[in-house]
């Protein structure tokens, strides 16, 4: 099993100057500085296999961005060790930069007023790519991500979804083996989000690229990643397969019944009715207290049923559940 | 996919040479991007040309009044016979053309964009300065016809040789100005807001560089200080070149510019290194 990332007891403590109050507080702070220490990452350890797609999630301030920064080499750890594609990120930042691609959902690496092609030309020089290889990659990626017709447009005049697709193309032009995605779908509409997720998943599967993603959108995690690492207060609190996480964490099923009657009532222990539209009834089944087939049978017994579906709760609820348990 | 592809012909070169060449190619590409970007925003360029023309008319008229008085014992008595319009035409050409690169540095440091830039294998500061140089070149090109037209209209054409010397020294001048502004911008790593430092440098540039009057008019310690400062290379020498300068003086001015460019570039590199090290240690924001 080839590993792309190995992290052992990685730690980061920020030292922040304490601000003093009062008219001369600033001067006193300058002459006699006092510091507070904040442990942003308090010893995390994990491995990521080459080609794996992993989500790192957690509440705001949990330490996930700090972890990503240390892995990409733009932040020195206070302790512990990280190995990314055979490089020590904090010591070999420039060499590692050739092997990783990074997309920040809220920060553009393209020049807004110039055609995307011009920005890509600069990226070619920054990553020292030969003309022939670069031209071939740009052709392939722009076709695959559906931006071939947008190359002569400035990103400032593109829709958010188009711009994000161009950002991802830009991050892949130098052929990275590992892709860091920080909130890649933030601010996009539903269609654009779905397209971006499909592109990332297909690209990773085709090229064998490892993907490390952070997002607050549970669908990104659910549809792109096969494994989730949950960080809270600088520590890993959960690390398991996305599917297993969903099954383990929420012992619930959603039974959706479409009926001729505007409303359907199923009175059973362990079954609650969720708010839903007329002619559609969504029942939440606690599988520890009620059997799904019994709930379906009870619904069918009403007659006039058009459709019944049984689903796991959306990932969003899993994430809420995990965060709620962390608070508790 | 190849991870660190390099030009085949360069494979035999030492690693540092390959890196230096790659840095130069990236800088050239950033320069081109800055140039293209400035021309793409052509309404802003037109506005800058108009501003240049207004500045020149106002300041030219002011100095022609002062010069006409020729008061004995004052600076006005030593003014060149052709007036100061050509001189101010050159110094304003440099000042109005120079991109305020310090604001880009401040913005990228304060907003945390710097972290994204550090994920690239090339020097962040080099690319920013190269891009600003491209923008500056575009402005110089746009303003140049206005400057030449004003020389012809005012009937103070200094000859092709003087114009060539002036253009060469003006290029050196903007390089020095960009490096000085870059240094100001890099102070954002420690002071966050660069405006106070920028204002101080601007005032020194105006006084010691001789924005409104040639430093050759200064006397005593002020003259010595001005000539020894990098600001003379920014504005004073290029301005003096249009009024008349021997080839020997031109060579001396050029040597001073090269020397100050090396010194300022080294300081920029050191300060940038210290700032980036601070960011890697403490985080961007």
**Looking at this predicted complex, what is its ipTM?**
0.81
B245 occurs within a structural domain: yes
Q: What is the pLDDT of residue B96?
A: 95
- Residues paired with residue A102 on neighbouring β-strands, in sequence order: A180
| A284 phi and psi angles, rounded to 5 deg | -95, 125
Q: Which of B102, B140, B93 is nearest to B242 (CA)?
A: B93
d(CA A95, CA B94): 39
Q: Is the dihedral of CA B179, B180, B184, B187 positive or negative?
A: positive
Q: What pLDDT does A3 receive?
A: 94
User: Is there a domain that residue B20 lies in?
Assistant: yes
Rounded-to-integer distance, Cα A44 and Cα A36, Å = 22
**Contact across the interface for A125 and B25, Cβ inside 8 Å:** yes
Contacts of B283 in chain A (CB under 8 A): 14, 66, 69, 75
Interchain proximity A114–B37, CB inside 8 Å? yes
In a domain, B93, yes or no: yes
Going across the sheet that includes A280-286, the strands are A271-274, A280-286, A252-259, A305-311
Task: Answer whether B118 sits within 8 Å of A74, measured CB to CB.
Answer: yes
Which range marks the domain in which residue B246 is found? 15-282
- Rounded Cα–Cα distance for residues B179 and B157 (Å): 31
d(CA B156, CA B249): 21
CA distance A175 to chain B (A): 6
Contact B1 A102 (CB under 8 A): no
In a domain, residue B133? The reply is: yes
Q: Which residues of A touch B2 (CB under 8 A)?
A: 133, 175
CA–CA separation, A215 and A133 (whole Å): 32
How many structural domains compose chain B?
A: 1
Rounded to whole angstroms, the Cα distance separating A242 from A247 reads 9
Query: CB-side exposure of A140: number of CA atoms within 13 Å?
Result: 13
E strands, chain A, where?
3-17, 35-49, 53-57, 79-84, 100-104, 178-182, 210-214, 227-232, 235-241, 252-259, 271-274, 280-286, 305-311
Q: Say whether B26 and A122 touch across the interface (CB within 8 A).
A: yes
Q: Nearest-CA distance from A76 to chain B in Å?
A: 5
Angle at B99 between CA B97 and CA B102, to 5 degrees: 150
Neighbours of A20 (CB within 10 A): 15
Are residues B26 and A114, on separate chains, in Cβ contact within 8 Å? no
Q: In this structure, is residue B10 part of a structural domain?
A: no
Q: Which residue of chain A has the CA closest to B39?
A: A114
Nearest to A102 among B30, B116, B282 (CB): B116
Task: Quickly state the pLDDT bin for B2 (edges 50, 70, 90).
Answer: very low
Give the residue among A255, A246, A242 at the shortest CA–CA distance from A286: A255
B8 min Cα distance to partner chain A (Å): 9
Name the residue facing B119 among A14, A15, A97 (closest C-beta): A97
**Strand ordering across the sheet containing A227-232:** A100-104, A178-182, A210-214, A53-57, A227-232, A235-241
- Could A128 and B29 be called an inter-chain contact, meaning their C-beta atoms sit closer than 8 Å? no
CA dist B174 and B198 (Å) reads 16
Pair of tokens at residue A296: 């379906």
**Helices within chain B (DSSP H only):** 15-40, 42-69, 85-97, 101-111, 113-118, 124-153, 160-186, 188-191, 195-209, 220-228, 230-231, 237-243, 247-282
pTM: 0.83
- pLDDT tens digit sequence for B231-259: 999 999 999 999 888 999 999 999 999 99
| Residue B5, domain member (yes or no) | no
Higher pLDDT: B113 or A177? It is: A177
pLDDT tens, position by position, B55-105? 888 877 777 776 666 666 665 556 665 667 888 899 999 999 999 999 999
Domains of chain A: 3-10+47-246 (3.40.50.300), 251-311 (3.30.70)
**pLDDT score, position B68:** 66
DSSP per-residue string spanning A135-153 = HHHHHHHHHHTT-GGGTTS
- Return the pLDDT at A178: 96
User: What ranges in A250-314 are assigned the alpha helix state H?
Assistant: 292-300
Q: Is the dihedral of CA A242, A243, A244, A247 positive or negative?
A: positive
User: Is B6 a domain residue?
Assistant: no
Pair A233, A63: CB distance under 8 Å: yes
Q: Which of A30, A41, A74 to mutate to test the interface with B (most CBs of B within 10 A)?
A: A74
Please report the pLDDT score of residue B4 as a whole number: 47
- B29 CA: distance to closest CA in chain A (Å): 6
pLDDT in tens, A212-234: 998 888 788 888 999 999 898 89
Query: Which tokens sit at B3?
Result: 């991870």
Residue B34 is assigned to a structural domain of this protein: yes
Mean pLDDT of chain B: 88
**Residue A195 neighbours by CB distance under 10 Å:** 19
pLDDT at A216: 80
Strands A35-49 and A3-17: antiparallel
Does B282 contact A66 at a Cβ distance shorter than 8 Å? Answer: no
pLDDT score recorded for residue A7? 97
| A113–B119 C-beta distance less than 8 A | no
A128 to B118: CB separation less than 8 angstroms, yes or no: no
Q: Are the Cβ atoms of A100 and B119 closer than 8 angstroms?
A: yes
pLDDT tens per residue, range B163-205? 999 999 999 999 999 999 999 999 999 998 999 999 999 999 9
Give the span between the Cα atoms of B164 and B175, in whole angstroms. Answer: 17
CB contact under 8 A, B121 and A15: no
Q: Which residues of B have a CB under 8 Å from any CB of A?
A: 1-8, 22, 25-26, 28-30, 33, 36-37, 40-41, 112-113, 115-116, 118-122, 127, 279-284
Instruction: Give me the phi and psi of B263, to 5 degrees please.
Output: -65, -50
Q: Is the pLDDT of residue A265 over 50?
A: yes
Q: Give the mean pLDDT of B40-53.
A: 92
Q: What is the pLDDT of residues A19-47, one digit of tens each?
A: 777 777 777 877 777 888 889 999 999 99
CB contact under 8 A, A97 and B283: no
User: CA of B225, closest CA in chain A: separation in Å?
Assistant: 33
Query: How confident is the model over A126-147, as pLDDT tens digits?
Result: 999 999 999 999 999 999 888 9
- pLDDT for the residue numbered B178: 97
Q: Per the CB < 8 Å rule, is A15 touching B113?
A: no
A90–B7: do the CB atoms touch at under 8 Å?
A: no
**Residue among A14, A74, A133 whose CB faces B119 most closely:** A74
Rounded-to-integer distance, Cα B172 and Cα B260, Å: 10
Give the pLDDT mean for A243-260.
82
Q: Which residues of A touch B (CB under 8 A)?
A: 14-15, 66, 69, 72-76, 90, 93-95, 97-100, 102, 104, 107, 109, 111, 113-114, 118-119, 121-122, 124-130, 133, 175-177, 207
């Amino acid at each position: 099993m080839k590993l792309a990332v190995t992290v052992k007891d990685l730690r980061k403590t920020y030292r922040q100057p304490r601000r003093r109050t009062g008219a001369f507080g600033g001067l006193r702070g300058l002459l006699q500085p006092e510091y507070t220490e904040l442990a942003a990452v308090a010893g995390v350890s994990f491995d990521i296999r080459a080609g794996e797609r992993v989500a790192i999630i957690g509440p705001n301030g949990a330490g996930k961005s700090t972890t990503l920064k240390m892995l990409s080499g733009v932040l020195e750890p206070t302790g512990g060790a990280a190995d990314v594609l055979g490089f020590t990120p904090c010591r070999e930042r420039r060499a590692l930069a050739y092997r990783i691609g990074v997309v920040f959902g809220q920060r553009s690496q393209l020049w807004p007023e110039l055609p995307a092609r011009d920005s890509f030309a600069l990226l070619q020089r920054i990553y020292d790519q030969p003309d022939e290889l670069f031209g071939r990659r740009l052709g392939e990626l722009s076709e695959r991500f559906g931006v071939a017709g947008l190359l002569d447009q400035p990103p400032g005049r593109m829709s958010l979804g188009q711009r994000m697709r161009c950002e991802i193309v830009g991050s892949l032009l130098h052929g990275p083996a590992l892709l860091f995605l920080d909130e890649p779908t933030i601010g996009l509409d539903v269609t654009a989000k779905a397209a971006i997720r499909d592109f990332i998943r297909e690209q990773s599967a085709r090229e064998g690229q490892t993907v490390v993603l952070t997002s607050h959108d549970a669908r990104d995690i659910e549809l792109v990643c096969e494994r989730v690492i949950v960080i809270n207060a600088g520590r890993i609190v959960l690390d398991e397969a996305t599917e297993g996480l969903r099954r383990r964490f929420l012992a619930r099923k959603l039974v959706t019944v479409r009926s001729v009657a505007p409303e359907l009532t199923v009175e059973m222990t362990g079954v609650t009715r969720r708010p839903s539209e007329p002619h559609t009834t969504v029942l939440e089944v606690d599988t520890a207290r009620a059997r799904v087939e019994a709930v379906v049978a009870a619904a069918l017994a009403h007659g006039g049923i058009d459709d019944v579906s049984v689903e796991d709760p959306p990932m969003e609820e899993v994430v809420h559940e995990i965060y709620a348990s962390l608070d508790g | 996919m190849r991870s660190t592809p390099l030009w085949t012909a360069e494979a035999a070169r030492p690693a540092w040479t390959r890196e230096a060449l790659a840095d130069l190619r990236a800088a050239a590409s950033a320069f081109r991007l800055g140039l293209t970007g400035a021309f793409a925003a052509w309404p802003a360029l037109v506005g800058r040309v108009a501003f240049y023309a207004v500045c020149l008319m106002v300041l030219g008229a002011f100095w022609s009044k002062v010069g006409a008085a020729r008061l004995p014992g004052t600076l006005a008595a030593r003014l060149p016979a052709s007036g100061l319009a050509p001189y101010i035409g050159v110094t304003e050409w440099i000042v109005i053309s120079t991109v305020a690169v310090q604001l880009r540095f401040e913005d990228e440091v304060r907003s945390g964009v710097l972290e994204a830039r550090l994920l690239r294998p090339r020097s962040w500061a080099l690319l920013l300065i190269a891009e600003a140089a491209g923008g500056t070149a575009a402005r110089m090109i746009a303003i140049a016809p206005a400057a030449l037209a004003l020389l012809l209209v005012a009937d103070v054409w200094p000859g092709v040789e003087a114009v060539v010397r002036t253009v060469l020294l003006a290029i050196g001048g903007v390089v020095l100005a960009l490096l000085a502004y870059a240094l100001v911008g890099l102070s954002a790593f420690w002071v966050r807001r660069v405006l106070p430092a920028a204002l101080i440098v601007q005032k020194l540039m105006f006084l010691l560089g001789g924005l409104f009057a040639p430093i050759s008019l200064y006397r005593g310690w002020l003259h010595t200080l001005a000539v020894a400062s990098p600001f003379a290379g920014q504005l004073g020498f290029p301005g003096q070149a249009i009024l008349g300068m021997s080839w020997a003086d031109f060579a001396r001015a050029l040597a001073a510019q090269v020397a100050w460019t090396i010194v300022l570039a080294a300081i920029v590199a050191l300060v940038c290194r210290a700032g980036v090290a601070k960011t890697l240690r403490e985080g961007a924001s």
